[in-house]
Structure 1
């Protein structure tokens, strides 16, 4: 799922909140210096002005371009923009008092001091916060991998346009030329190139691809096929204005660098929605880790007694768009479970790229009989999943999403299966609340995951969480 940019005036809401905080501090401080008392104890007029200041800031931001390209601006330019912003707000405050015929009551000391302190405080606040945001943006784990599809003739100008901004939320992972031309360069600006469609298909099957930028005026049918393929994988596609296919889902216009493109994705969410989903994840993870700690007191010794070895099981899993991470569980199987899995593949109850087996002999205590032993208990009650709250806190997983495949399962995926990985994997999801043990066809799992991704909303996540509690407590679909 693609993170859609906020509306222009809300794009840098963090800087707006920072400005408001510093201007309020400057106003309160200026009043206290002049009148030797707190503004909260002072005249009603100044208290009202402090509130009006917030409203004026929001209005000015809405109608101005003060925050446009703020991340790219240098310190001196930022000071000039801050002077402009603060001055407009202070003059509007003065105009407000003049219209109310109260301007003669306004202290010049308060007005001029708050003006100057606001400029200094907001300038430093913006510059410091900008450095923090830049570091966050340029961290590798926060950048999406973008594949460029272009032609040898146009690739230089394409890259210059896309990479014109120093601080970006993406990095170019590779460049693809659709024609297998031996004369085409092996790399451009230090970025390796792929020659021909076969190399392209091989690359997108094995490597992490979050977004694709198509900058070519090649044959329309070839581009149409490529867009369809990428969308079926859940990859976001940006199409240069030189080629505009029909019937793109969730399409909207935006900028990649200084290039205007049409962006299309299986689903798109605003920055607010993504931020709120992450906030819910962090809150849920903290609560979940507390429960995990309590469970560890009882489950840990029981696992140790039944099967000497580590309490926790760590396994490589595949996350968003092919990123590898370690997923944690309470160990419910014997230490040689992975080796024994090969012997049991003939008894796999799932059709496709997942393994599931009722009365699995690898489960700790399974020799006591069907459903017996600590391993079966923690699996039936889903206690084994609790350590994954640590993965959620780290940001590798979400509370709600699609279940992450193992590395071996992922290697066998067809291209359309990769749509499952277009969102962060989840502790629970559509498949889990739809009778997971009753589903024996992997393609049905993919269908349910695709339905979730295409219809994602915060409300849907909340519904799935409530259904998960019901499934867990009633032990539905767990074998």
Structure 2
């Protein structure tokens, strides 16, 4: 899933709100300074001007590109841009006063001081907030990993274009050259980015490594381009294609700029920044509520686990998240301490066809020796209490409330190329196949099909439906074994 860039004024809504707040503060500060030693009374006219000031600022945004490239601007460029923006707003405010025949009531001191204060406050607040944004953008966990497909003679030019901006939300993780490595020994390319040679090496790299985006600069033919874009899109990877050959199989395609390079971008599905922000806000709220429930459950579950099976209350395991990123998942422990070792001997009894393990009356579950479904571990799993600590993963951002279940590292290493589409979205606490009778699903390919259906048709409304259906499933104790 690809996050579409918002329009310029929506993209920098945080800076817009910051400017309005600073201008309002400057205006009120100027009024206070003008009336030092007098009784502070904010006349109705000045209160109205505070409102008009905000409206004018919003109106100016529709006719100027004041925030375009704001993250890339240095301090000198920023002071000029800030002064220009504030001046336009203040002049329009003066014109408004003139048109309403109230200009004579407006104190020149208030007007001029607020003008200067607004420039200073807006400039310093913009610079401070930019530092926060830049740190966040450049953090490795927030950068997408891009694979570049090009030729030897284009590497230097294209990487320079893609790296043109100092602060980018992507990094070039590898470069693919079509010819085989044996043919390239006479022409070693000097670059700080790993070079991949040959189609087999390319597919193995994509299968085993984190790849969020692929930028296809050149191909020998339209057929080759179509083949490659098909492979990547079926894995849920976002495809950017240079303005050369264009295949006919690009879903959700649009033109955008990657650094200084123009490209056609296509993805299995796209979402606006607003949609993903709503999803993240929902995750945070849900995680906070969930952690409160987890704390209450801990009071009762922890002693029961400790009595039945000495050892840690929580189970920690490496799982694979979005596009191959590894993280630790947390659960209440419902199995004995040697569960992973015993799993190797139980694989022949696996009821799941494919890369998942499921077994009726699993002897690794705490208390299973008492009989089918009678152990404390069975109760924890049947009621889905074991999943509660994953709200911590959701709060951290490793997972989402709704998504696809994250595979273990061992399962992921056995994935075929088309299985990786499950990882094109952030993994979830629950998802499509969990509420589609997961106890009755014994074929991993059916899990992949349901997860693909979810990713291709994702919407906020779909997440809400799955969330409510999950509550119903949990309350009815359906689907957990």
Tell me the secondary structure at the aligned position of residue 218 of structure 2: coil
In the TM superposition, residue 478 of structure 1 has moved relative to its aligned partner by 2.1
Please say if residues 32 and 39 of structure 1, whose CA atoms lie closer than 8 Å, have aligned partners that are also in contact. Answer: no
On the 8 A contact 1:310/1:331 being kept in 2, the answer is: yes
Q: Which runs of 4+ in 1 moved over 6 A?
A: 37-40
Q: Deviations over 1:298-353 (max 9, x none)?
A: 00010010011111111110000001111010000011111111111121111111
CA deviation vs aligned residue, 1:210-257 (integer Å, no higher than 9, x gap): 001110042111111110000000000111112222241011111100
Whether the 8 Å contact between 1:40 and 1:47 is mirrored in structure 2 is no
> Which secondary structure does the structure 2 equivalent of 1:314 belong to?
strand
Is the 8 Å Cα contact of residues 232 and 416 (structure 1) preserved in structure 2?
yes
Q: Which residue of 2 aligns with 1:325?
A: 327
In structure 1, the partner of 2:172 is: 172
**Corresponding residue number in structure 2 for 1:256:** 258
For 1:94 and 1:36, locate their aligned partners in 2 and report how far apart those are by CA, in whole Å: 24
Q: How do 1:203-218 and structure 2 match up within 5 A? A: 203-218=205-220
Number of the residue aligned with 1:335: 337
Is the 2:422–2:448 contact (alpha carbons within 8 Å) kept by the matching residues of 1?
Answer: yes
In the other structure, the counterpart of 1:435 is 437
The yes-or-no answer on 1:467 pairing with 2:469 is yes
CA contact (8 A) 1:31 1:39 kept: no
Change in CA separation of 1:186 and 1:307 when aligned onto 2, cut-off 3 Å: farther
Query: d(CA) in 2 for partners of 1:364 and 1:312?
Result: 13
1:401 is aligned to: 403
Alpha-carbon distance between aligned partners in 2 of 1:460 and 1:34, rounded to the nearest angstrom? 56
Distance 2:310 2:82 in 1: 64
Q: Paired residue for 2:130? A: 130
Alignment match, 1:140: 140
What residue in structure 1 maps to residue 362 of structure 2?
360
In structure 1, stretches of 5+ residues that fail to align are none
Partner of 2:451: 449
Whole-angstrom distance in 2 between the partners of 1:176 and 1:344:
41
- Residue 189 of structure 1: CA displacement? 3.0
Q: Is the 8 A contact 2:152 2:189 kept in 1?
A: no
- SS of 1:78's equivalent? helix
Cα deviation code 1:183-224 (max 9, x no counterpart): 575554311101111111111011110001110042111111
Deviations along 1:123-163, whole A, 9 cap, x unmatched? 00111111111111111111110000001111111111111
Choose from 349, 352, 355 the match for 1:350. Answer: 352
2:439 aligns to what SS in structure 1? Answer: helix
Q: Secondary structure at the match of 1:65?
A: coil
- Are 1:152 and 1:184, in contact at CA under 8 Å, matched by a contact in 2? no
Within 2, Cα distance between the matches of 1:371 and 1:71? 57
Asked if structure 2 preserves the Cα contact closer than 8 Å seen for 1:435 and 1:477, the reply is yes
Partner Cα separation in structure 2 for residue 164 and residue 247 of structure 1: 30
Per-residue deviation, residues 48-102 of structure 1 (Å, max 9, x unmatched)? 1111111111111121111111111110110000000000000111111111111
Partner of 1:191, secondary structure, is coil
Partner of 1:2: 2
Distance 1:109 1:422 in 2: 58
Going from structure 1 to structure 2, the CA distance change for 1:101 and 1:14 (only over 3 Å counts) comes to same
DSSP 3-state at the match of 1:115: helix
Contact preservation (8 Å) 2:20, 2:54: yes
TM-score by length of 1: 0.97
* Counterpart residue number, 1:313: 315
Alignment of 1:270-309 (within 5 A): 270-309=272-311
Q: Name the SS of the counterpart of 1:427 in structure 2.
A: strand
**Which structure 2 residue ranges, 5 or more long, are not aligned?**
none
| Aligned counterpart, 1:113 | 113
Distance of 2:128 and 2:298 partners within structure 1: 42
Pairwise CA distance, 1:122: 0.3
Q: 1:204 to 1:367 in 2, by over 3 A?
A: same
Retained in 1: the 8 A contact 2:32–2:40? no
Q: What displacement does 1:9 show?
A: 2.2
1: distance between equivalents of 2:397 and 2:219? 39
CA displacement at 1:32 relative to structure 2: 2.2
Contact 2:256 2:262 in 1 (8 A): yes
1:58 matched to 2:58? The reply is yes
Determine if contact 1:28/1:39 at 8 Å carries over to the other structure: no
CA offsets 1:165-189 (integer angstroms, 9 cap, x no match)? 1111011100001122415755543
Matching residue within 374, 377, 380 for 2:376:
374
- Aligned twin of 1:182: 184
